[in-house]
Structure 1
C-alpha cells in the first residue's frame, strides 16, 4: 500500500521558510498564510506540481488559479500591463487585489494555472507569502487551501481540518488579517470589470481609476477564480437575509440587534456587533465553519449591507447558499 502522508503544521519563521522553499522547488504543494486566506501553493511553472493542487483540493480543472508574485517586476516576466492595470498594481500591491492580465507570448506559466485561457490572474501578497515567493524566485499558483467549493480557511488548523493528509505541510502564520479572498478585476480597454469582490472594496478601486466598475454578469463565462455559482459552502444549508430563526437553525448575525427567534437558535455567532465591515469580513469563514460544526442543518444569516466590504461578504454568502451542483 502507498505510504500515507502526514500533514505537519510548522510555525512561520526562518525554518519554515527554508522547508517550504525546498518543498516547492521539489515540486510539492505547501499551504501558506497570506493576508486574505490560506493558500495551497505550488510552483506555477511546474505542471506536475500544479496538478497536485487540483488533486489535493479536488478542484475542477476548468477553474483557473491565481499566480502570486513579489511585485510588478516578477509579473512582467509572464504578463502584460496596460496603463490602468499598472496604476492599480502601483496603488494596491502588495495587497488583496488580483489583476487579470494578458499572457506574454514567451511566458512559462503552466496551462493548468490559466485553465487554457490567454489571460492570467496575478496578485502580490504580503507577509510570509511574499517572503516565500522571493526565496523560491518563481511565481506561485495558490488557490485557497481547502476542499474545492468548501469554506476558505483563515487559520492553519482550518487547513489541516479540510485537507488532512492530502498535503504534507502547513505553515502557520496565525489568523489571516483580511479574512476573505482578494478582489479580482480585469481591464478591458477603458472598462474595468469587477470579476470577484473581495478584500479591496470596489469604492477604493473606483477612486484610483476614476470610473465606475462594471460588475460581471450572472452566469458569465469563467475568467478568473471564484466565479463558480456554488462556492465557499458549509455542509449546512444557508438561508440569507433572514428575519427570524426557525427551530433547529443556527444564526450568523450582524450588528447590535438580533432577529426574532435568536434566543432559540442552536448557536449564535455575530460577525460584528459594531457593524464593522472589516471585522465582519475577518470573521466570516471562521464563524461559518463554527456554526457548521454545531450540527444545524441550516444557518440563518441576518441582512448585511452591501456597501464597502459588504459586497464581498454578500458575494461569498450568496455562493455558499447556491445549489450544490458545482464544486
Structure 2
C-alpha cells in the first residue's frame, strides 16, 4: 500500500524523505513536489525503474522522461558538452523552470527510452526535490499524471491517477504555479552546422526572457509570421512533457 507523507509537518518530513530515498533505491516510484507541478520519480540509472515509470503513466519508450539534478555539476556529468550559451542559461534560470536538452554523455550506462542520444535536464527550485536529489543522485522525473490527463498540482490529483503504482507520495500542498517548465533544445550548439537554441515548449520561462540571455542564438518563433522559416531540423526532445 502506498505511503503518503505531509511534508509541511516536520514530524512527517523526515520519515517521508527516508522512505522516499529507500523506495528509489529499491527501484520503486515516488511522487514528489517541484516548483512547477508534481512529478513521478525513478532512479535514472535503473532501466527497470524507468520502465515502471513509463508503465505507470501509460506511455511508451518513444517518450523518455527528463532527468532532474541537484546542480550544474551533475549536468556536466550527464551530457557530452555544456556550451557557453547553456552555461548562461543555467546561470540565469537554474534552479527553476527551464529544461535543457543536450547530447547525453555516451559513456553513461542507463536506459531512459528512445532518446536518440539526448537527455533533457532540469534543476528544480524546490527544497524537498533538491534534498531528495542530493541523497539519491539524478532522477528520471515526469509529471505525475496519466498520459493525456492534466499534470497534477496537488498530491491528491496524482493519487487519483497513479494510485498504488507509487510507493511513496510526498505532499507539500498545491504547486506554487502549476505551470510546466519551458523546454529548450540546445543540441545543435554541440557541433551543429547552424547552432541555434529551439524552444520545444514555452512554459515557466518566457521566450522574451530566453532572448535576453541568448540573443540571436534563440531560434525565431515559428508561429511569428514575420520570422524567416526555420532551417534547423528537430532533434529528439528527450521526452520531456
Deviations 1:209-261 (A, max 9, x none): 123444479xx67523357xxxxxxxxxxxxxxxxxxxxxxxxxxxxxxxxxx
Taking structure 2 as the reference length, the TM-score comes to 0.84
Counterpart of 1:11 (choices 6, 18, 33) is 6
Q: Structure 1: any 5+ residue segments left out of the alignment? A: 1-5, 228-327
State the shift of 1:151 in Å: 0.8
- What is residue 207 of structure 2 aligned with on the other side? 202
Counterpart of 2:198 (choices 193, 197, 200) is 193
Provide the C-alpha distance between the structure 2 equivalents of 1:35 and 1:202, rounded to a whole number of angstroms.
19
Q: Structure 2: any 5+ residue segments left out of the alignment? A: 8-12, 190-194, 224-233
Q: How big is the alpha-carbon RMSD for the aligned residues of Structure 1 and Structure 2?
A: 2.1
- What is residue 75 of structure 2 aligned with on the other side? 75
Cα contact 1:98–1:123 (8 A) shared by 2: yes
Provide the C-alpha distance between the structure 2 equivalents of 1:85 and 1:107, rounded to a whole number of angstroms.
21
Aligned length: 219
Q: Cα gap change, 1:221/1:75 in structure 2, threshold over 3 Å: closer, same or farther? A: closer
State the shift of 1:105 in Å: 2.2
State the shift of 1:132 in Å: 0.3
1:56-71 equivalences under 5 Å are 56-71=56-71
Cα contact 1:100–1:121 (8 A) shared by 2: yes
Provide the C-alpha distance between the structure 1 equivalents of 2:141 and 2:220, rounded to a whole number of angstroms.
26
Structure of higher RCO (CA pairs closer than 8 Å, 6+ residues apart): 2
- What is residue 46 of structure 1 aligned with on the other side? 46
State the shift of 1:178 in Å: 2.2
Cα contact 1:33–1:39 (8 A) shared by 2: yes
Deviations 1:32-54 (A, max 9, x none): 00010111100100111111101
- Higher CA-based Rg: 1
- 3-state SS of the aligned residue for 1:200? coil
- What is residue 90 of structure 1 aligned with on the other side? 91
